[in-house]
A = this chain, B = another copy of it.
Amino acid sequence: MSRLCVRAFSLSLDGYGAGPDQSLENPLGVNGMDLHQWAFKTRTFKQMFGQEGGETDVDDQFAARSFENTGAWIMGRNMFGPIRGAWPDESWKGWWGSRPPYHVPVFVLTHHPRASLVMEGGTTFHFVTDGIESALQKAREAAGGKDIRVGGGVSTVQQYLRARLIDEMHLAMSPVLLGAGENFFADLNLRALGYARTDRVATCGLWRGCRPLPP
């Protein structure tokens, strides 16, 4: 059976999954790009944006794995765009241009109905207005036995965690301080919900891996 997964979800040291004040200029909130530097430098992400090169390190392996065996995505409305309230028209089609990097059905949680949106490259955005369990059911039907990835943002992941519906979550702890934004752990007692950290992988600090500290 397909699993519901959170993958490569970046958090700051102080627990923010996005900066404050999301806007067209700051899709990830103010300073939110800082969270994702580990990913942007990888070959996987550079290829996704049509660029050459990129690191092929542990970060790249996590980036690549985050897209593997994914049959459908679920995302919150704010991950899809900066518009709040009713859709003024059909012009907003996501942050990602005509060919989004999903290539599978994507279910967008919203309170405001809208017709499905077929994009190039296999991505279709479906707008789900009747809640997270309905979105999960639709995603499961669409995923063809593959996994379903909850992309974000913070509020959407929290809702699925609180409902104990997430089967596996990979948090990418970025060594930055955001100071403000979308706090991932606020009012979220993962331990009480039954979650525990299973694996961990350290990536390269200033002094790589397990070498002694410099004097």
Contacts and interface: CB of A to CB of B under 8 A. Distances in A.
A179 B205 contact: no
A61 interface: yes
Given A15-B185, A207-B201, A213 B177 contact: no
A18 to B, nearest CB: 14
A14 B202 contact: no
What's the number of copies of this chain in the assembled complex? 2
A179 B192 CA distance: 7
Contacts of A179: 189-193
A183 B201 CA distance: 24
Interface string A168-209: 000101011111100101001111110111011111111111
A31 interface: yes
How extensive is the interface on chain A, given as a class?
35 or more
A147 B65 CA distance: 46
Contact of A197 (B177, B191, B199, B212): B177
Contacts of A61: 212-213
A179 to B, nearest CB: 3
Interface in A117-133: none
A33 interface: no
Contacts of A209: 202, 204, 208-210
A57 interface: yes
Contacts of A206: 199-201
Contacts of A204: 202, 209-210
A13 interface: yes
Contacts of A208: 202, 209-210
A24 interface: no
Interface of A: 13-15, 31, 57-58, 61-62, 65, 171, 173, 175-180, 183, 185, 188-193, 195-197, 199-213
10 contacts: A13-B171, A13-B173, A15-B185, A58-B210, A179-B192, A180-B189, A183-B185, A199-B205, A201-B206, A202-B204
